Structure 1
Amino acid sequence: MIKEECKSLLYRIRPQGPVFKFYPHRATLNYYIGCSHGCKYCYACYTMKNIGLEPEDFAKEICLKSNAIEVLNKELGKKAWKAYSGITHLGTIQDPYQPIELELGYTRKVLEIFLENGIPTTILTKSPLIERDIDILKEMATRNLVHVDFSIAYLNEMLRSILEPGTQPFEERFRTLEKLRDNGISTGIFINPVIPVYTGKSLEKIIARAKDCGVKYVLMGFIHLIGSRYKEMRGLINSINPSLNYDKYFNFSGRRVVMEKNARMEITKYTNQLSVKYGVPFITTEFHQYKTGDYNFGVFTHRHPLIFDYVDLLARNKNKYLGLDDAIEFANGFNCEKSYFSSLKWYWNSEKMFNDMEHLNIQRRVENDNVQYMLAD
């Protein structure tokens, strides 16, 4: 383990990034760099270059920001963070419950601070170790301050052993979801990344178990890897399924390897069908016509408005053009800090506000330098 001191810990998410439109959190923090789960599809391995190491060291060397708790307490006392009223996310570039957490307990210390300061928190993990902190999570849940997502994208244990070699079996994740449910803690399942063929074969069982576990929703995401990382993953998959032509499911034309659009749409449609069948809300960051749930991430009634909230605003004023002033008045009904409104203005005046909603007849016009939108029949 490497120990380094940090000058700052809390990180504000880039205002014009996709998180503005689709995710409720506006801040993250990472006190571990590296993750011993060793997931072969992880995009975060390149963060190791920030500490002078190579991507292949991601699962071998864990760097601890040793003064993280002290820095966090200081930052929360500063004016800029006192004014922050959004959700903070744990689990962006590492699993906050990877094995080293059992020894060091930094995630537990962070949660204690968040509980004391009333900071709403989302957690993404693959680890049953989170059960250790049920006492804190349960208290946070009584105040609608926490939501936990588990990553489960397929159920083939042989594949898990080579793609996620440091993780626990899927059945243990489902059992932990049940324990969290029994303690009143809001949960979801993150079907990410979709692994072509394997996710499709497992999807109905995942949705059925999601129903049994009482999750608030399932959320789907897709692979985006640089070429070398994709080739490594493909080689591992072919080691247990040599006849599979994996390249046919992917697009290699851009900077990153991504699933083909038709393949993404087909599994999204299938998930929609299973969502309806089992009564489990489904959300996705593309092909929004197939979503069946709301993007409130379980429990957060006081959050920033997301793109779907603005679609609902247009729907309530159908065939009527609305301007930025209408959007700001609407956003004032949410729990937004001042910086949110500058991001809203940027999106509203650009052509990116509703560019993900091709399935809707949203029309845009500019009148007296005022950008307006209308949802038409």
Structure 2
Amino acid sequence: MTDSNNPLRLHKGRGAASNITGRFASHSSTYESDGWQVDLEPIERLITTAIEEKAKSIIATNQSPDIPFTQSINPYRGCEHGCIYCYARPAHAYMDLSPGLDFESKIFFKPNAADLLEQALRKPGYQCSPIALGANTDPYQPLEKDKKITRSLLEVMQKFNQPVTIVTKGQLILRDLPILAEMAQDNLAQIAISVTTLNNELKRKLEPRTAGPAARLRIIEQLSTTGIPTAVMAAPMIPALNDNELEKILKAGHDVGATRAAYILLRLPHEVAPLFESGFLLTTH
């Protein structure tokens, strides 16, 4: 495992510029450039590896007054969207992997997620409250097209009348429109679409493998037209970078049918701060 400076290279379609050492690693190394060789050209595309994880439980709970839900499910660990600011990146350090490129290219999926959810919902002591999908990584990242973990979870939730909230920036959510529309008719589904910027160039630097701003607004429109309560999530707001777009994003969301809105300020915990600096800033020079 290498340090964030070891070395800095742009990978096509990836947000991080390196595999920064996780904070639990016992050893690290540091790369120092002598200034003689500067190579900022993107190198070959990094291939994503899907890793099966047999989970022992699937619903995570919290009692924090700062978090607007008490239950959540993460069908995946890591996220191929590669958002350079993602607060979930440090979680890969618990897997003895890097929060950098490993987080974007080594994705864990939970094939038994739906079975575990059904077992949990059948327990006599289960207390029903909305389950949040997308609390840590996007439930509609590219791997979902093949694995269908999120879809299988929705099918179980619909069967048990379990309410769900989803935050995503992935167009794949439209695949599950029929299920979500039926659940919404019973007030069981609410969706939030994350719109970080309306600027395509900035989007490519911040979120390399996500749908563009116009596509996300179309998602909001399609969800809203189908009768699904949909919010526009302006997140994260980054001072001096995209915070000047906040009102434009909220208006654009309203114009296509969003009935709710929210914003979240940027936070850069643990390894995310150096990754943001080395990854995003490298693309601006």
Whole-angstrom distance in 1 between the partners of 2:280 and 2:223: 32
Aligned amino acid, residue 100 of structure 1: L
* Cα deviation 1:64-111 (Å, max 9, x = unaligned): 122212211111111232xx1211100011100000111111111111
Tell me, yes or no, if the aligned pair for 1:3 and 1:64 is still in contact at 8 Å.
yes
Tell me, yes or no, if the aligned pair for 2:90 and 2:270 is still in contact at 8 Å.
no
Q: What is the deviation of 1:241?
A: 5.2
Structure 1 segment 38-57 matched on structure 2, within 5 A: 38-56=82-100, 57=102
Instruction: Show the counterpart of 1:126.
Output: 169
* Cα deviation 1:188-241 (Å, max 9, x = unaligned): 011111022332332232122112122122111111213652233234454465
Q: Which SS does the other structure have where 1:97 is aligned?
A: coil
Whole-angstrom distance in 2 between the partners of 1:143 and 1:40: 37
Q: What is the deviation of 1:164?
A: 0.7
Whole-angstrom distance in 1 between the partners of 2:271 and 2:92: 16
Instruction: Show the counterpart of 1:144.
Output: 187
* Cα deviation 1:139-179 (Å, max 9, x = unaligned): 00100111100111222221211211111111100001100
Whole-angstrom distance in 2 between the partners of 1:190 and 1:130: 16
Q: CA 1:124 to 1:80, structure 2 compared with 1: closer, same or farther past 3 Å?
A: same
Tell me, yes or no, if the aligned pair for 1:154 and 1:195 is still in contact at 8 Å.
no
Aligned amino acid, residue 40 of structure 1: I
Tell me, yes or no, if the aligned pair for 2:74 and 2:137 is still in contact at 8 Å.
yes
Aligned amino acid, residue 223 of structure 1: L
Whole-angstrom distance in 1 between the partners of 2:97 and 2:104: 11
**Correspondence 1:63 to 2:111:** no
Instruction: Show the counterpart of 1:9.
Output: 58
Whole-angstrom distance in 1 between the partners of 2:173 and 2:270: 33
Aligned amino acid, residue 54 of structure 1: S
Q: Which SS does the other structure have where 2:52 is aligned?
A: strand
Q: TM-score, normalised by structure 2?
A: 0.78
Whole-angstrom distance in 2 between the partners of 1:141 and 1:8: 27
Tell me, yes or no, if the aligned pair for 1:152 and 1:189 is still in contact at 8 Å.
yes
Whole-angstrom distance in 2 between the partners of 1:4 and 1:204: 41
Aligned amino acid, residue 60 of structure 2: Y
Aligned residue pairs total 235
Tell me, yes or no, if the aligned pair for 1:159 and 1:237 is still in contact at 8 Å.
no
Of 90-99 and 46-55, deviating more is 46-55
Of structures 1 and 2, the larger Rg is shown by 1
Identity, in percent, stands at: 34
Higher relative contact order structure (alpha carbons within 8 Å, sequence separation ≥ 6):
2
Instruction: Show the counterpart of 1:18.
Output: 66
Tell me, yes or no, if the aligned pair for 1:126 and 1:173 is still in contact at 8 Å.
yes
Q: TM-score, normalised by structure 1?
A: 0.59
Aligned amino acid, residue 94 of structure 2: N
Q: Which SS does the other structure have where 1:147 is aligned?
A: strand
Instruction: Show the counterpart of 2:43.
Output: none
Q: Which SS does the other structure have where 1:115 is aligned?
A: helix
Q: CA 1:16 to 1:207, structure 2 compared with 1: closer, same or farther past 3 Å?
A: closer
Q: What is the deviation of 1:17?
A: 4.1
* Cα deviation 1:295-337 (Å, max 9, x = unaligned): xxxxxxxxxxxxxxxxxxxxxxxxxxxxxxxxxxxxxxxxxxx
Whole-angstrom distance in 2 between the partners of 1:101 and 1:124: 15
Of 135-144 and 67-76, deviating more is 67-76
Tell me, yes or no, if the aligned pair for 1:154 and 1:198 is still in contact at 8 Å.
no
* Cα deviation 1:340-370 (Å, max 9, x = unaligned): xxxxxxxxxxxxxxxxxxxxxxxxxxxxxxx
Whole-angstrom distance in 1 between the partners of 2:226 and 2:273: 39
Whole-angstrom distance in 2 between the partners of 1:183 and 1:89: 21
Whole-angstrom distance in 1 between the partners of 2:188 and 2:271: 39
Q: What is the deviation of 1:58?
A: 0.8
Q: Which SS does the other structure have where 2:210 is aligned?
A: coil
Q: Which SS does the other structure have where 2:208 is aligned?
A: coil
Structure with greater helix share of residues: 1
Q: CA 1:33 to 1:119, structure 2 compared with 1: closer, same or farther past 3 Å?
A: same
Q: CA 1:198 to 1:120, structure 2 compared with 1: closer, same or farther past 3 Å?
A: same
